[in-house]
Every structure is written in structure tokens, then in C-alpha cells.
Structure 1
């Protein structure tokens, strides 16, 4: 006799999305999160709603996922999504062939991309540099992660899920070689299936079950500056590197980001608030190359996030896949447990659907996913922010808005 059908470990966007999806399919689901919801990678992102243009040349499949989910989140996300639009800008020193290749790749993937002259782009964003050669417009946007997670959690709760925040997993119980539940808060909770959605900490949770999930997390710095007049997302049109994104918020712009491998995911946030570091200076310099006024802007906050990259994928750091991986058991197998790694905030719903499909298949449940058709509840900002106060900790990604 089990206490719940499925336990999900990890309360970031993906974990909460999995709980919502499974609950909507009629399963009894319990989530365990060691802090407030979204307190790991999700709440420390730059909050970019990807159009897919960033990945169009290097990862067409990932780009196609992004534009699909971009459209879905605009439909269901309410006040968690800001439809800012986005520009990819080519500066004097940028390769024009790369610009041509990227815009053509966007068009092949059905990502709307409209080329603009330098003067047309500066009419849209007067703060753009005079070194601008040309630009193209894409449907990028901003995600307020706290609102997205809180709304997703509320939907899961309305469908009967149990959400246990501030409750870290102490151990995973195995009987006859199979995962049968978890130890948390001094008690054992039995389940037919356990999902490991702990993000950059997925390897640590897998190890509790005697499994080896090779994670290769990287950390990146975000610098929020006071420039409220910038409306669209600004992307440097060059191969992805440090400091090539500026994401607008209601009260400023978030500049990002770096990519540095880390051994300890918890250590990735240790430099929060250090506005004098070399990485912060680099973000300001690169941001000012696109938006010169950034050089004189006040810094509102500095924070670090950690990417849950899978170490078994080809490449490392920026060359590592930004796609997601699902392990039924793990690389060496363990019945009763599924692990998900990788991915992006924009594709959290798709990741959750794929995991829920896998879990339902293992449990013999034949119910379709409905998360793309049903809007998230409490779409207005005030109601959502009340849910944020209930479910979430203080997230630096959107603390200026929420």
C-alpha cells in the first residue's frame, strides 16, 4: 500500500510542471522541495522567454522546441509572461555571415524573423549603439520565474497534488532493487514511482538510490541595472558567449551571462552581491557595447545561477547540449525511478510532459497531457504575487517586479 502514486523531488519549474501534468492526468502526486519553490536554478535565471533564435544554427531541434513552447506560454502564462519582443543585433565587429546564417535558420524553423536596418532598429530602441550595422526582430519575451512557478503550483494543487516545501529528502528507500519511496522530515513516504527533478542537484538525489547521474553544472552571473527604457530583449548576433543578452524588466535590464564549470552546485551562488568582481565588470562592458547607457547605469543587484547540464552529453560549458535528458532508472538502471536533467526555463512544460508520459507508461496509465490547452490559474499580477508569497522564497531573477 503506497501513500501516493508519484513523488517528485525538486520544486523548480520542471518539477512543479511534472506535478501539475501528472495531477491533471488523475494521479495522486506529492512534491518535495528543500526550500521554497523555484529557489534553485529557476529563480536565478535571466528570465528569457526564448524564441529559439539563439539556438537556430547550433541546435535546430532545441530551437524548434523553444518556439513551440514560446507560443504555448504566451497563451497560458498570464502575468508570468511579458511579451517584450526581441532583437538580434549585428555590431561593427560581428561576422555578417553569421547574421545571414542565423536569420535564415530562423525562417527555416518557422521562427518569425524580420530584418531591420540600423536606423529602423534605433527607432525601436534609441539606446542602441551607433556601431549597430543591422538587426532582426524575433518573438523573444521575459518570464517572471516566481509567478510562473507559483501559478503552475496552484494549478497542481487545484488538481489534488500535495506540495511539501522546506522539506529536504533525507534518503531514498530501496526494496528488492526497486525504489519504493523517500525518507523526509523523519518519516517514510511510499510511492509507486519517484521522479528526480532536482536540476543541478539531480546527481546527489540519484546517488541516494545508488545511481550515477553524471552532472556537469556551470554557473553564470546576472547583473541587473537600472535602465527601464529598454523594451525588447537585446541579443548580440554572434556565436553564444559571455555577456550577449539583455533582458528587460519593468524596472530595469538584466545583463547576462557567463559560463563557468563548478563542482558544487551550492557554491554557485556564493558570490551573490559582489558588484566589483571581474565577471560583473565583463557583463557591464559587453552590455554597454550594445547599449552604451549601461556603462553609467546603477547596479540594482548581482546574482549567480547554476545550469543543470548533463555531463554525459557531448561538449562542455557553452558547447554542452541545452536539451533535456530522461533516464528511466539511470545510466545503470533502477526500477521505480525516473530522472530528468538539462533543458531551459522556456521548455519546462515540454520537459514535464515528456517525463509524465514516461511515468504514466511505466504505471500503465493511459491519459493524455492537457497542460498546453489549460491556462494557468490566477493570471493577474496581484493574485499571482500572493501565490508567490505563499510558495516561493525571494528570487533574485524577478525581485524587482514580484
Structure 2
């Protein structure tokens, strides 16, 4: 039996972010990841956008402001894990002009400085942009390489004393409902760990993890396809300025562009369909912004899962664009804390919120330092790629870039 103060379950961006934050505050933390490497779930299967907040500005201004803040922080502490591609929102003929104006105003209201651009100026910035584009504006979107980001975050956690176990699927959490009892976490072929607090950062699998402790957690995973095509001259991230829909974003990735995405509810994050219509629809819709895509061969496809928090999502009509996160303390399993929802861009902020809660429980009076401390390997892509390989963190989202 291994003893620690905190167990973190889940080796994606949020899980390693929590481990890093707690370790920097002097907390003894052990992270358990069920797979052979980190970054195997949602983080490693994203479309890789470092959001500016523009995508959420009119529907969720608070969340958008968080994105803008974290965008700036990651540029400072994670050089090499992110790229300053810039971004655009473009309106095609037939798209709602009033929605465009609301989006532009909302960006300004959260403290962004969007730059309105004419159709000619937009086409100067993007190769192959459609003649149907009638207006647009520039925003500080970027690209994030989750393999590097997760690995560098894990390395920093380890530097400060965190223990990281892969191939450690959690099979049981002993939480008997007594607030003064330590929790015991048992894994398949890995360690058994006793802790004061267990953090459930398992993303789409968080509901299953909570159930191991006799707790309930409303998770509604949705799948989305990412389609990678050869498109070396894309330049900025290109977003279509309309209500959220399939196929409304193209992201530059080295010599490729990653097109996204769809949103289909799944019942089981381990077993779900991957339908060809999603690929076709995504390409067709993105080709409305970038017509050359219609004739560009698909190089690879991959599906990601969003760990949406059901109590929040059920209150929305249609395809909710908000990606709020929640920190849930389970009364039925004292000591178990779940973090759900959120976005890759705000992973550090999510981890800070969890660590604040955990430190309050443990009586640890240390401030968060993760926004100031640079990650290991920053500015050195070769070192970052080495860390990604060491932690088994190379995933579909950036396999075309990392290690080249």
C-alpha cells in the first residue's frame, strides 16, 4: 500500500495540470493513468486550437474572458507547446450579419482587440479563401500541441515530487461515506494507493470513475471528428462566423490543416460509432470557406470526445457552445472531487480551481504558482518532443508535427 495526500485519476491535460499545481504547492500527489501513456483521451484528440475566447464571446462571456487570459498565460509559460498562428472569423454571404456584429462587439467587451478586415484583406492572409466571404475580423487564436503541453506539464509536476503511474487503470475506490476516513484506490496491475483526497479528472470516463466510489456524476460525452488534409499555406485558424454548427473551423498544423468538427452524443466513451457522413460533412462545410478543400485528399481522421457536464448541458437548447467546467465535491463519497467539462485552453485554470479546493480541504495555505513558472523545455521543440515520447504522450492531434 502506497500512501500519499492526493491521488489524481486521469493523465490528460487537466489531470497533469492538477498534479503540477498541487506539487508546486508542496502537496504529495500521485497520478494514475489507465493507458500506457499520457494524453490518450480528449486532450490528445482535440483540433488543437489555442482559443482566444472569440468562439464563446457572445454566448459565454465569462468563459471567453477565461480563454483570453489563459491564451496569454500559455504564450508566456509554454513556448513551443503553442504557436502564434493568429485567427480569423469570416462571414459568408447568407450568414447572419447581425450575428457577426454581436460576435465582434462581444469580443471587444471581454477585452480583446479584434481587427475588422475587408474581403480583400482577408484573402491576402489566407490562401484559397472563398469569394463568398463578405467580411471578417482577426483575433489572437493560436495552435496548441497537446502532446508537448501534457508532457511538459507532467515533467514539471515530477520535478516537484509528483509520482506518475501509467498502465494503472482504477478498478475500485474505497470511500465508505465517513468524512474522516482516507480513501483507498486500487488499480488493475498497478499500485494500491491510500489518500486523503482523490481527484477524478478522467474526462469522458469521469462518470465511470465516480461510480467506483458509489457516487453519481452527470457526464454526457459527445464525439466530434477531426479531418486532416494537406494544406500547407493555411496560415491562421479560420472560423466561420455563424451559430455553432458542423464543419466551421480549420486549424493549421504544420503542412496540414485539421478540419472540425461534429457533435454527436455517445453512450459509452469506450465503444462508439465513427461514421463516414461526419467526415464528408465536415469537409463540405469547411470547403464553403476554403473551396480547395473540396478536392484535397483526406490524409487522416480521428475522433475526440468532449466531457460535457450533463446538469449544465441539459439546461441548453440545441448545440450549446459553452464549455464551462465544474468542480464537484461528492457528499456520498467524502474526499472524492471531480472536475468535468472545460477546454484544453483553460486546463491550467481548471487545475488551479481544483487545487484551491483540495488545499482548502487539506489546510494547505500556499498560493498557485502555475501562471508564472515556465514549463520545462520551453522554447526547445526537440526537448519537448523528447518529453512527449518519454511520457508516451504523442497523440493524433499533433502526431504530424511532434517529432518531425
TM-score range, shorter chain: over 0.9
Q: Which runs of 5+ in 1 are unaligned?
A: none
Given that 1:315 and 1:321 are in contact with CA atoms closer than 8 Å, whether structure 2 keeps it comes out as: no
1:290-329 to structure 2, matched below 5 A, reads 290-313=289-312, 314-315=315-316, 318-319=319-320, 321-329=322-330
Are residues 187 and 82 of structure 1, via their aligned partners in 2, closer, same or farther at CA, if it must alter by over 3 Å? closer
**How far 1:315 moved relative to its partner?**
2.3
**How far 1:173 moved relative to its partner?**
1.4
**How far 1:181 moved relative to its partner?**
2.2
Are residues 146 and 186 of structure 1, via their aligned partners in 2, closer, same or farther at CA, if it must alter by over 3 Å? closer
Alignment partners' CA distance in 2, 1:187 and 1:236: 47
- Residue 263 of structure 1 is matched in structure 2 by 267
Are residues 308 and 179 of structure 1, via their aligned partners in 2, closer, same or farther at CA, if it must alter by over 3 Å? farther
- Residue 180 of structure 1 is matched in structure 2 by 183
Alignment partners' CA distance in 2, 1:310 and 1:240: 18
- Residue 128 of structure 1 is matched in structure 2 by 129
- Residue 391 of structure 2 is matched in structure 1 by 391
CA RMSD of aligned residues (A): 1.5
Alignment partners' CA distance in 1, 2:11 and 2:392: 10
Given that 1:88 and 1:237 are in contact with CA atoms closer than 8 Å, whether structure 2 keeps it comes out as: yes
Alignment partners' CA distance in 1, 2:322 and 2:107: 19
**How far 1:188 moved relative to its partner?**
2.4
Are residues 395 and 263 of structure 1, via their aligned partners in 2, closer, same or farther at CA, if it must alter by over 3 Å? same
- Residue 61 of structure 2 is matched in structure 1 by 60
**How far 1:392 moved relative to its partner?**
2.3
1:181-260 to structure 2, matched below 5 A, reads 181-184=184-187, 185=189, 187-260=191-264
Are residues 98 and 317 of structure 1, via their aligned partners in 2, closer, same or farther at CA, if it must alter by over 3 Å? closer
- Secondary structure in 1 matching 2:310: coil
- Residue 51 of structure 2 is matched in structure 1 by 50
Are residues 288 and 176 of structure 1, via their aligned partners in 2, closer, same or farther at CA, if it must alter by over 3 Å? closer
**How far 1:126 moved relative to its partner?**
3.0
**How far 1:308 moved relative to its partner?**
0.2
Are residues 104 and 320 of structure 1, via their aligned partners in 2, closer, same or farther at CA, if it must alter by over 3 Å? closer
- Secondary structure in 2 matching 1:353: helix
Task: Give TM-score, length-normalised by structure 2.
Answer: 0.95
1:111-126 to structure 2, matched below 5 A, reads 111-126=112-127
Given that 1:7 and 1:181 are in contact with CA atoms closer than 8 Å, whether structure 2 keeps it comes out as: no
Task: Give TM-score, length-normalised by structure 1.
Answer: 0.96
Q: Which runs of 5+ in 2 are unaligned?
A: none
- Secondary structure in 1 matching 2:282: helix
Are residues 267 and 112 of structure 1, via their aligned partners in 2, closer, same or farther at CA, if it must alter by over 3 Å? farther
Are residues 352 and 358 of structure 1, via their aligned partners in 2, closer, same or farther at CA, if it must alter by over 3 Å? same
Moved more, 358-367 or 332-341: 332-341
